[in-house]
Chain A
Amino acid sequence: MVHAVAALSASLFLLGITPSLETRHTIVNIVGYVLYVPEYPAMIVRNIAMTLSNWFIGRDELNKKIEDLSKEVELLRIENSAMSSKITRMEFSVPTEHAEVVVRNPDSWWSEIRINAGVSNGLDVGSPIYSGGFLIGRISSIEGNFSWVELLTSSSLMLPIVVEETRDLGVIGGDGEGNVWLHYVPENRGIKEGMTISTALVGNKLPPGLRIGTISGESIISPNGFRSMRVAIGADLSKLYSVSFIKPEGVGQ
C-alpha cells in the first residue's frame, strides 16, 4: 500500500514539476542515446517495410525517380537561392545529407524534433534544415550525433522573410498549433495568395533566399493596421520522417 501510494505520488510529482524543468531535454537526450543501439534494428525494419510496401504497390521505380528528382530540385533550389543572393558560405558541390527524425514529442509536436545528425555531420546551432527542398526549421541545440530542430511552426521561432514578388519584408512565426503566420505586412502592399516567401538576410547560418512556402488566403488585421497572413509552408510537417541538410565539404570525409 505504501509503495503504491509512493509510486503514484512520484508520478504526479514528476508530472507537476517537469513542464518547468530546464533539464528535461538533457534527460530525454540521455534516454535517446541509450536506446539508439537497441532501436537500430527497428529503424532498419521500418526502412525495409517502407521500401517493401512501395514495391508491393508497384511504384518503387517511380518513387525512386521522384526521390532522385526531388533531391535534385532541392539542391538546385538551395544553390539558386545562394547564387542569386551572392552568398556562398557553404560548398554546394556536396549533395544534401539526410537524417531520420528520432523523437517528436506530442506536447511539442509543432515546436521541435530530434534528428540523428549533429556536430559530427557538420551541423551547428542555427543551421537550416529542409524537407522536400523547403526550409522547415533550424538547429536549436546540438550534440555529437543528434540535434534538436526548432520548427517553423514553433511559437518561439521568428524569422525575417521576403515576399519574392513584391520584395516586401516581414516576419514569420508559428502559433505552436501547426500554423505559420506572416506578420508586420502593411495592408496596402498588395500581397496576394500564392506569392512565394523565402528567408531574408538573418545571419551567417541562414542564407537569404531559402524557400519557405507561399501566402495562403487567410489573414487577420491587427488594430494597428498591420496584417497577419497565413503561410502555407512548402514542406509537409505532418509526414516528417526524415529531413535533409547541407553537409559542408570536408566534414566526415
Chain B
Amino acid sequence: MIKYLIFAWLTQDFFAVVMSDAILIPDIYLMCIIFWSFSIKDAPMELDIFLIWAAFVGGLLWDLRWIGVPGFFSLLYVFSFLCAKWIWDLFPKSGQTVMVFFLISWGVQLPGFIISLYLWSVKTALYLQLFLLYQAYSIPLAAFFSLLFARRVKMRNV
C-alpha cells in the first residue's frame, strides 16, 4: 500500500510540475487514501491510523514543496479524510455503494480547491471559470477511483 501512496503523491507532484504551479491539481493522493480506507472490507483500526498519518505526511510534503507553510495541506488532508470516513461510516454496509463512494470522493476534493483559491489569491472574477475547470478533472478522477472501488467490491464478492 505504501508504494501505491508514494506513487499517487509523485503523480500529483508530476502534474503540479508540468502545470508549473499547484492551483488546479487533482488531489490524487487524498483520493488514494480514501480508496484504501473504503475498499478494504472490515478494515482493522490500524489501517485507519496508518492512513491518518499518511495523510498528514503527504500533506506536509506537499506544503514543503508547493506552499511553503507546513501544516496547511496536512491539516486539510487529515480533516478531509476524517470527514469522508465519518460520512462513509454513517451509511450501513448495504448502503456503502459505488455511487456513495463517488459522491464522497468528488466532494472531498472541494476544500482543497477552495483553499487553493485563497492561497494563490485568485481574482473573484475567475472563480466560476476555475470551478468549471476543476469539475473537468475532479469528476473524472472521482469516477476513476469509483471504478477501481467497484472492481474491488466485485472481486471481494466473487
Please report A residues at the B interface, Cβ cutoff 8 Å. 3-4, 7-8, 10-16, 18-19, 24, 27-28, 31-32, 35, 38-39, 41-43, 45-46, 49, 103-109, 241
Contact = CB atoms under 8 A, between A and B. Distances in A.
Interface in B10-46: 10, 13-14, 17-21
Q: Give 9 closest A-B pairs by Cβ, nearest first.
A: A105-B68, A14-B71, A15-B71, A11-B75, A42-B17, A31-B64, A11-B74, A7-B56, A14-B70
Contacts of B56: 7, 10-11
Interface of B: 10, 13-14, 17-21, 49, 52-53, 55-56, 59-61, 64-72, 74-75, 78-79, 82, 119-121
B66 A39 contact: no
A23 B56 CA distance: 20
Nearest to B119: A106
B15 to A, nearest CB: 8
Nearest to A29: B64
A7 B52 contact: yes
Given A7-B56, A10-B56, A35-B13, A15 B72 contact: yes
Contacts of A108: 68
A43 B17 contact: yes
A15 B68 CA distance: 10
A23 B82 CA distance: 30
Contact of B13 (A8, A38, A103, A105): A38
B18 A42 contact: yes
A4 B81 CA distance: 10
Contacts of A39: 13-14, 17
Nearest to A8: B78
A28 B68 contact: yes
Contact of B59 (A11, A31, A241): A11
Given A8-B78, A15-B75, A24 B65 contact: no
Contacts of A13: 71
A233 to B, nearest CB: 19
A16 B69 CA distance: 10
B81 to A, nearest CB: 9
Given A12-B75, A103-B66, 6 more contacts: A4-B82, A7-B56, A8-B78, A14-B71, A19-B69, A24-B70
A241 B59 CA distance: 25
Contacts of B53: 3, 7
Contacts of B120: 106, 109
A108 B13 CA distance: 20
A3 B52 contact: yes
26 contacts: A7-B55, A8-B82, A10-B74, A11-B71, A11-B78, A12-B71, A13-B71, A14-B70, A15-B75, A18-B70, A28-B65, A28-B68, A35-B13, A35-B65, A38-B10, A39-B13, A39-B17, A42-B14, A43-B17, A45-B14, A103-B65, A103-B66, A105-B66, A106-B67, A106-B120, A106-B121
